[in-house]
Chain A
Amino acid sequence: MTHLTRRNLLRTAGAVSAGALLAPSMLGAPLFVPERKTQRVVLIAMAGGVRTRETFGMPDNVPNLVAMAKEGVLYPKLRTSNLGHFGATMSIFTGLAEARGIRENARGPDPTIFEYLRKDLGLDKGDVWVTTSGGAQQVNYSYGLHPEYGPQYGANILDGDGIFNREFEELLERWGKPKAADPEEQKILERLRRGMGKGDAVKDAEQQARVEEYILNELTRGTSDIRGAAAGDRKALRLARNLMSIFKPKMLGVVLQNADIAHSSYNGYVEVVRQNDAAIGELMAAIREDEELATTTAVFVCPEFGRDADLNARRGLDHGDGSDDLRTVGCAAWGPDFKQGATVTADHKTIDLTTTICELMGAKAKLAKGGRLSGLYS
C-alpha cells in the first residue's frame, strides 16, 4: 500500500471520529506525499567505531558496501556525535545528539525512530525489530520514555550473542526442550489469563507466544554456532537476515559493535570490518533474491563514529582525539527510490538518518533535531 492510499484510507475510515483514529502527527501532515516504492527500511548502525579509511578508503575490505554504494548513494562525510558508543548509536535512532553515559543502562528521554514509525503508521510490534550484537545496554534502543511515545510503540529487540549462544543451549538441554503446547491446554490458559487481574493479558500472551516460537526455531538454524571474529555482529546480521525473510518487517535496525576490538588490535579491527561486510552481503543477497523485498526495501549502513587518526601504544585505535577520522563517517544508502551511483558531499550528520527514514516511510520524527539527507531520491 502506498503512503498516499494508506492515508486516504485512514482519512476516510476516520471521517466520523478522526481525532480518535488518527495520530496527532498525521492531522497536520500535508495532503500530498510523493508516491514511493519503499515499504520497509533496514538501518545498520555499524557501531563500535569504524573509520572511513578502513571502509570506503580500502574498497577491498568492504566489497559489499562498495557495491551497495555504487547502486545507491554514498555520503562519505557525515558528521557524528562524540558521545561514546552508546550515546552516539542512540543518537542515530533518536535524531538527537544528547549525552548518555557510556555504561548507562537506562531508557533515554527521547522517542526513537521505532516509536515514530509504529505510532504514525499504526505498525504492529511484529513489524519493527532490532537485532544487536551483545550486551544488556543494547535493549535500550527499543524505546524511550517520552510520554507521547514509549513502550507501547517499542521495537522487538533481539540480542544475537546474548541469546544464541552455547550457554543458552546448555540451559535448554539441562531442563529439556519444552513440550509442544496442547491445544486444549492452550484454550484453558487463555481462559485463566482472561480471569486473572484485569484480564488484559490475552493479546499480549499471543504476541509473546509468537516471539517464543521464533526463538525456539531460530535455535535450530545454527545462529548459536557462529564463532570467531565478529561473532556477535555476525549473529546480529544473521538474525536480521532470518527476520527479514520470515517476518518481512517494516523497520529493522541492526546494531553492530565488535569493531571496538580496535582499542587493542588494529588487525583484529580490520578483520571485523571485513567479516561485517561479508555478513551485510548475506543480508543484501537475501533481500535481492526475494522479489518482494528487492523492490520495496531500502538499506542504510552507517557507523556511529570513526576512530582516532593515529595508533595508540598497543598498536590499536582508540576514539577521542577529535580528528576528522573520528568525527566523520561514510554512510551508504540503497533502495528503490534512491539515486544510483551518486556521492553526496553536502554537510550532513548521522542524526539526519532518523528524520530522513521517517519521512521516507511517511512518518514524522517530531522531536528529532536532524535534517533530511539531500541528494537521496532519484
Chain B
Amino acid sequence: MVIGPPQPKNPVLGLRPQDEPTVVPDAALVRPMSVGDLRAVSMDLLGRPPFANELEPWIGKSRDAYVEHLLGTEAFWRHWWSEQLYYFMLIDTFRPRTDDVNEVPIKLAEGRLTVRDALHRIALTPTFDLRNPGADTFVTVVMEQYCGMVVQDAARELEIGKSAYDGNETRFLGQPAENQADVVRNCVEHKSATRHFTAREYERLTGMAPDKKDLIRWSRDLHKRPHAYVTLFAEWMRSTHYDERLVRRRPKSNRLFARALHVDLLDRLPTEDETESMRNALDGLGDPRPLRSLFARLILDSSKAPVPKKKDIPDPTLWVGAQYRRLLGREATQDELRTFVTAFHEPACRPETLLYAILSHAEYQTY
C-alpha cells in the first residue's frame, strides 16, 4: 500500500526522479492543467485524486510533465495491477494474496518484469485456477480474456486447448502444448494477446476504441518490446483522444469511487481491505449510486472527516467555490454559488449538507 505522494521514477523509461515539474519547451506539448485535468490524470494513472499537498505544485503546470512524473512509479503500477486483476475477475475471495503476487507492482516499477510477464503470472495463480475450474471453462477464459477470441468461432482450437489441458501432446495456437501451463503460455505469447491487451488498455484510458492502423502499429511494437508499455502509455496521454476524454468525462468505477471518496474527504487512501469491501458492496448494485451516497453520508457523519464548523467558515462563498473546485474540478456557476450560500445561512444546513449534495450528485460520479 502506497500512501502519500508518488514514489520516484521507473528506470525503464530512463527518466530522472524529480520533485519539481519540468516545463517542456515544445509549446504543443505544454498543456497547462486545470484542477479538473489534474484530478482526471491522477485518477487515470494512480486510481485516486491528488492529495491536498499535490494540488498547488501542479495546477497550471504541463500535463506532460505530470504524466512523466507519475508514469512507471510503483503507485502507477499498483493501480495498473489492480485494474488487471479486476479485468480477470480475481477479486473478493479470488483475490490472490501471496507475497509473490503482491510484489508484482514493485518488480514492474524496477523494470524486473514486463507487462506480459505480469499478465502471465495472473493465469498461473491458484485463485485463477479456482475461479475458472475445469478444462472447458479454463481454456475458454484464457482464450477470451488474453487473446480476445470468440471461442464459439474457434471451436476446434478450444477442443485442442482442452486436450492439452488434460495432458495430451498437441499444437495449441501454433505452438506445442501438453499441459495447463503450456495452454497459458501459448495464449499469453500469442500476437493476438498483445493486440487484445493494447486495445483494452487504450479503451480503459480514453474510453474509445483505437484506430485500426494505430492498433496494428502499437501492438506490433509492444509484442517485440513489452518493456515499451510506458512509452506507449505516454503517447496515448498526449493524444487528441485523451484531450477529448477530458472534456467528455468518464464514469468512476466503483473501486475508483471508493478511493476517491477517501482521498477527497480524509486526504488518505483507504486500505486495500477497506477499498475492496466498499467496492464489493457497490458492485452488488446495478445502479450503485444509492450506496455511493450512503458511503458519503457515513464518512461525513462519522466526524472523522475534517469538515470545518460553520462558525469557522468566515466567507461561505469562498468556501463553497473551493469545494466545487476540489471535488468536481471546476468553478461553481454564479447560480450555484447563490443557491449554496443561501442554504448555508439556514439553521438546518451544516457544511456537511453542502458537501453531501455535491458528493451524491451525478457529476461527482464522473471525472
Please give the residue numbers on chain A whose beta carbons come within 8 Å of chain B beta carbons, in ascending order. Answer: 83-84, 99, 101-105, 130, 132, 135-137, 139, 141-143, 154-163, 165, 167-168, 170-172, 175-176, 178-179, 182, 184-185, 187-189, 191-197, 201, 204-205, 208-209, 211-212, 215-216, 260, 263-264, 312, 316, 318-320
Contacts and interface: CB of A to CB of B under 8 A. Distances in A.
Contacts of B340: 192, 195
Given A84-B140, A182-B348, A195-B340, A159 B353 contact: no
Contact of A162 (B88, B153, B284, B299): B284
B225 interface: no
Contacts of A194: 339
Q: Give the residue among A161, A188, A194 with the most B Cβ atoms within 10 A.
A: A188
14 contacts: A102-B144, A103-B88, A103-B141, A137-B89, A154-B286, A162-B284, A163-B291, A167-B276, A167-B280, A171-B277, A192-B357, A211-B290, A215-B290, A263-B137
B278 interface: yes
Contacts of B134: 263, 312, 316, 318-320
Interface in B288-304: 289-291, 293-294, 297-299, 301-302, 304
A83 B294 CA distance: 37
Interface string B316-337: 0000000000000000000110
Contacts of A193: 357, 361
B135 interface: yes
Given A163-B281, A192-B353, 6 more contacts: A103-B88, A143-B286, A159-B284, A160-B284, A178-B298, A319-B136
A260 B130 CA distance: 11
Contacts of B30: none
Interface in B137-161: 137, 140-141, 144-145, 150-153
A1 to B, nearest CB: 27
Nearest to B162: A320
A172 B274 CA distance: 11
Contacts of A192: 339-340, 343, 353-354, 357
A211 B151 CA distance: 39
A318 B89 contact: no
Given A170-B277, A179-B301, A185-B350, A196 B284 contact: no
A318 B286 contact: no
Interface in B52-98: 86-89, 91-92
Interface in B260-284: 273-274, 276-278, 280-281, 283-284
A182 B283 CA distance: 29
Contact of B361 (A103, A196, A320): A196
Contact of A184 (B132, B135, B348, B356): B348
A178 B301 contact: yes
Contacts of B28: none
B88 A167 contact: no
A161 B319 CA distance: 41
A84 B137 CA distance: 8
Interface of B: 86-89, 91-92, 132-137, 140-141, 144-145, 150-153, 162, 273-274, 276-278, 280-281, 283-287, 289-291, 293-294, 297-299, 301-302, 304, 335-336, 338-340, 343, 346-350, 353-354, 356-358, 360-363
A165 B92 CA distance: 12
Nearest to A172: B298
Contacts of A184: 346-348
B293 A208 contact: yes
A204 B144 CA distance: 37
Q: Which of A102, A172, A193 is packed against the most chain B CB atoms within 10 Å?
A: A102
A188 B283 CA distance: 30
Contact of A188 (B141, B294, B346, B361): B346
A11 to B, nearest CB: 32
Contact of A212 (B150, B291, B338, B350): B291
Which of A162, A165, A172, A209 has its CB near the most chain B CB atoms (within 10 A)? A162
Nearest to A105: B89
A264 B298 contact: no
Contacts of B362: 197, 201, 204
Contacts of B293: 208, 212
Contacts of A103: 88-89, 132, 141, 144-145
Nearest to A189: B357
A320 B136 contact: yes
A264 B133 contact: yes
A163 B294 CA distance: 13
A346 to B, nearest CB: 26
A99 B150 contact: yes
Contact of B353 (A130, A188, A215, A264): A188
Given A184-B348, A195-B339, A162 B281 contact: yes
A159 B283 contact: yes
Given A99-B152, A178-B294, A188 B348 contact: yes
A152 B354 CA distance: 28
A263 to B, nearest CB: 4
B348 A175 contact: no
B144 A101 contact: yes
A192 B152 CA distance: 52
B336 A195 contact: yes
Contacts of B133: 260, 263-264, 316, 318
B284 A175 contact: no
Contacts of A215: 290-291, 294
A216 B295 CA distance: 12
B339 A196 contact: yes
B140 A102 contact: yes
A272 to B, nearest CB: 14
Interface pairs A-B: 6 shortest CB-CB: A162-B284, A320-B136, A157-B286, A195-B339, A159-B284, A184-B348
